[in-house]
Amino acid sequence: MTDIRQLQPANVWQWFADICSVPHPTFHEHQLADFITDKVKTDGQKFGLTVEKDAVGNLLIQKPASQGMEQHAPVAIQAHYDMVAQKGTGSNHNFETDPIETVIKDGWVWANDTTLGADNGIGLAMGLAVAFSDDIAHPPLRLIITSEEEIGMGGVQGLSPDWLQVPYLLNLDSEDSGELFIGCAGGRDITFSKTYQTQALNLTNQPLLTLKVSGLHGGHSGIDIHKGVANANLLLARLLSVAFQASPFGLVSLYGGTLRNVITREAEAVLVGDKQALQAVIDQETAIIKHELQFSEENLSIELVETDTQNSQPTAELSVLSAHDSKHIIDLLNAIPNGVIRMSDSFIGVVETSISLGVLRLEQGELSVKSLMRSLGESQKDALANKIQALADLADVAVAFSADYPGWLPDPSSYLLATGQTIMQDYFGKAPKIQVIHAGLECGFLKAKAPSTDMISFGPNIRSAHSPKERVEIDSVAQNFEILLTFLKQMPKVA
């Protein structure tokens, strides 16, 4: 079987196939919103559906209760409809114009060397399958579909609290079947910047070189931050530091990563230096790094090559930094904190606070370094921000903090938690694992806007989200759709 529309449950997979057929990377997802809106206004009429779209592209689909459940408490199903756009180095995929090509392999659905968008397209597909049905029991229903979740959570930030006037909300943006998520980390963006003086490129005495790190697995900068996944930006900084100590050079450009919430898979530096002297040191450090990462990053590649200026940017448009300023940048990159800062005391095995250096740019003397910090608590975010500010002050670089979003604190008295524990115990034959995730779920913003709404999150097995190895397990989709339907049946009656 190669057609995901033939998978079960058919209504979920048919919707997911439709979602994959419409390009929807973050900031370019509104074509998919139009597709869903048109479906509501045509096919959705027979199910009693109505739809609203707000100024930032969020959708609210409402559906009356099924027969016999009119007196049960209303419930919202919530998912986002944008996806992370990441592809392999050999892929020519254009996320703004091309559909996602799906592949069925060993019980999982993958994409063809790109992100799949199961985060959160499969949750969206489950919600739409409920809305466009006449044989699923449910109370009065709201399907809240948000935009721009993957970069800055712009959709949920602009969401009207009026849309959240329901006692219960089921978020379908989790990635581990058989687990219930009751809390999440908040986040804050960090951007370092500085403008350096440059000088005209002179290749008379030394060649133009490119140092490239590639072949890394990458991953999600929150849920994978503690797994030993290597960050190409950090490996590049380490190599540059060791190389500079042996033979100083001038930096021309730096390029690594495209998104803050992705652990960078590739990074490169263009520089002017003594290739022979640098090669010896790079080879030595490469052997050390490959030994360190032999089990976690078996495909790691590090190469130093002479740059062919005839087939790249004209040398007249290139400029180089002094050795002094080049060292300043290298020292800064090696000093910026990265990885797990602290584990939680309250939830064993859960990361409390972390930071990930996601995007690195140096072009024509303009430096930009973008990181994302996460924490379960606001005070921990503030404390880390103070450290970052101190580092920036000492390094004489500008730093800006933005796109702050709150965490979601667990509620042990939650009706949905107690109900979900019973549902999953009955379904799987064992108690579900109760999780607090080190990633930004929209429930943080939703809870801030609707503090009295009881919320929980669950979903099928999704692996390597935010990378070209993203995949979703077929059987777990069916399992979690059944769990969703059981939740809907068990909403309590209105007192």
Peptide bond into 9 cis (omega under 30): yes
Which of 332-367 are b and which e, b meaning 16 or more Cβ less than 10 Å from the residue's Cβ?
A: bbeebbbbebeebeebeebbbbbbbbbbbebeebeb
Q: How many CB atoms lie within 10 A of CB 159?
A: 24
The DSSP bridge partners found for residue 462 are 472
SS3 content of the chain, % helix, strand, coil (to 5): 35, 30, 40
Q: Which residue has the tokens 């703004």?
A: 96
Angle between helices 232-246 and 275-292 (to 10 degrees): 140
Contact 181/436 with Cβ under 8 angstroms? Answer: yes
Active site residue 119: no
Helices (H) and strands (E) in the chain, counts: 11, 25
The one-letter amino acid code at 337 reads P
Distance CA 234, CA 332 (A): 11
Contact 372/400 with Cβ under 8 angstroms? Answer: no
CA distances from 144 to 60, 227, 263 (A): 5, 32, 29
- β-strands 262-263, 471-473: how paired? unpaired
Distance CA 451, CA 27 (A): 28
Q: Which residues contact 215 (CB under 8 A, 6 or more apart)?
A: 265, 266, 297, 299, 300, 301
Distance CA 167, CA 450 (A): 9
Q: Which residue has the tokens 């940017």?
A: 313
Structure tokens at 439: 């990633």
Contact 110/103 with Cβ under 8 angstroms? Answer: yes
Catalytic residue among 82, 189, 266, 470: 82
Helix (H, G, I), strand (E, B) or coil at 337: coil
Active site residue 82: yes
For 259-303, the DSSP string reads: -TTEE---EEEEEES-HHHHHHHHHHHHHHHHHHTTTT-TT-EEE
Backbone angles phi, psi at 438, to 5 degrees: -90, 65
The helix or strand, by DSSP H or E, that contains position 39, with its residue range, turns out to be helix 30-41
Catalytic residue among 119, 148, 149, 150: 149
- Positions marked catalytic: 82, 149
